[in-house]
Amino acid sequence: MDTTRSRFSAAEQGLGYLYQARFALLKILALPESGSVLIEKDDDVEFVSDAGVKSLASLKHKATGDQLTNLSTDFWKSVRIWLTHYLENGRVSSDAQFFLFTTATISEESFLGIFAQDAVDHDVRAEAAKAAIAKSRSELIVTIRTELAQLSENELRDFYARVTIVDAAPRITDIPALIDRHLRTIRRESRGALFERLEGWWTDLIIKILSGHRKEPVYGYEVSDKLSALAEEYRTDNLPITFRNRLPEGEIDVANDPRLFVEQLRALELSATRVQNAIIDYYRAFEQRSSWARESLLISREIEEYEDRLVDEWTRYREIVFEGLNDSSEDEACLLAGKELYRWAEIETSMLRIRERVTEPYVVRGAFQILANTRPSPRVYWHPRFLQRLGELLGVAA
């Protein structure tokens, strides 16, 4: 397969948008909990410290090997954004700081290197910038030169003193490893899955901000709270619940679903709604187990031992419910007994947890549906004569 990109590819631009969200997550984890972040407000990302100091950050995710030079538009477009903010927010009295984070490196010949250093005289920065753009005929540079002319010499020095370039910034694929350092309290084998869930939640928040459904910034304590809640799910006495409210793809066909557990429920003459609920429970439990297995969260034979526990409890209650039945019992009595056994599995088994803190109902209910779906013979059944009917059907089929 040819993976060479077309010259019309917008891959780097697309990465740039994704970079904003992932980079913002990395930075807010390093901020005090009272700090906050906004995306695409006055700049790509805007950070506010716990003291209220605002930092405008331009983010540039560049192709490998790119360099910043004296007249790089990445820098000067950012200067224009920052200058607008500076002019509109009190100039010298403003407390804003301006950052350019770029995955590119600063060319050794470029004066921009002085913006990557702390101990540089403010006059040196201002004079070097003025000299770099003095003779340029670029439309962008000419416009910026005109706008910079609105500043006094003191303001110009103050403005450039606020600017910092961070070059060779981590690329988008490097950030998960950096975020991992903030997850040291989480078991190592669970960090990858936890990061994916944290980033999914974070992405949803960013979408709400960009779409205008959320006006306020995201605060550090919100991230801390979410991280803490997710971490709780990865404790040894718990498992993450990630399929709550999920539904199977396509239409649920209660009347024609051929699976054995559905056949069992139809034999009980249950309402279509109850059968549909069972199909949903089966789907959620099956997919949840698959997710736990992919993330290596289950210990050896944990599912098998859990199912054995359920079968044992089912056997005990079955004996109680079926105790008064025999071969000559009326069909109606058998039907009522089967319904009672199924009602127990639906309603009274919440204490039968795979782990102590896994309290999500679909885990237990769906597990019973999985056991009721085992072929050629189900490990649990509801109607007292279902196995007999199944045997007759299989005999006919043979």
Q: What is the pLDDT of residue 153?
A: 93
Q: What is the pLDDT of residue 166?
A: 95
175-217 pLDDT per residue, tens: 999 999 999 888 888 899 999 999 999 999 999 999 999 999 9
Domains of the chain: 11-174 (3.40.1350), 260-397 (no CATH)
Q: How far apart are CA 84 and CA 106, in angstroms?
A: 24
Beta strands in the chain (DSSP E): 36-39, 45-48, 54-60, 67-68, 97-102, 105-106, 163-166, 218-219
Identify which of 19, 21, 54 has the alpha carbon closest to the alpha carbon of residue 35.
54
Rg (CA), the chain: 31
Residues 70/132, Cβ–Cβ less than 8 Å: yes
Q: How far apart are CA 138 and CA 140, in angstroms?
A: 5
Q: For 116-156, what is the HEC assignment?
A: HCCCCCHHHHHHHHHHHHCCCCCHHHHHHHHHHCCCCHHHH
Q: How far apart are CA 38 and CA 47, in angstroms?
A: 7
Residues linked to residue 161 through DSSP beta bridges, in sequence order? none
Q: What is the DSSP letter of 328?
A: T
Q: How far apart are CA 348 and CA 337, in angstroms?
A: 16
Identify which of 41, 86, 32 has the alpha carbon closest to the alpha carbon of residue 217.
41
Q: How far apart are CA 206 and CA 40, in angstroms?
A: 10
Regions of the chain where pLDDT drops below 70: 1-12, 119, 393-398
Structure-token pair, residue 134 = 């003095």
337-379 pLDDT per residue, tens: 999 999 999 999 999 999 999 999 999 999 999 999 999 899 9
Residues linked to residue 38 through DSSP beta bridges, in sequence order? 46
Q: What is the DSSP letter of 93?
A: G
Residues 386/334, Cβ–Cβ less than 8 Å: no
C-alpha angle 209-215-221 in degrees, rounded to nearest 5: 80
DSSP states of 163-197: EEEE-SPPPTTTHHHHHHGGGTTS-HHHHHHHHHH
Number of H helices and E strands in the chain, helices first, is 14, 8
Q: At what angle do helices 220-233 and 11-30 cross, to 10 degrees?
A: 90
Pairing of strands 45-48, 36-39: antiparallel
CA atoms within 13 A on the CB side of 164: 14
Identify which of 338, 170, 193 has the alpha carbon closest to the alpha carbon of residue 268.
338
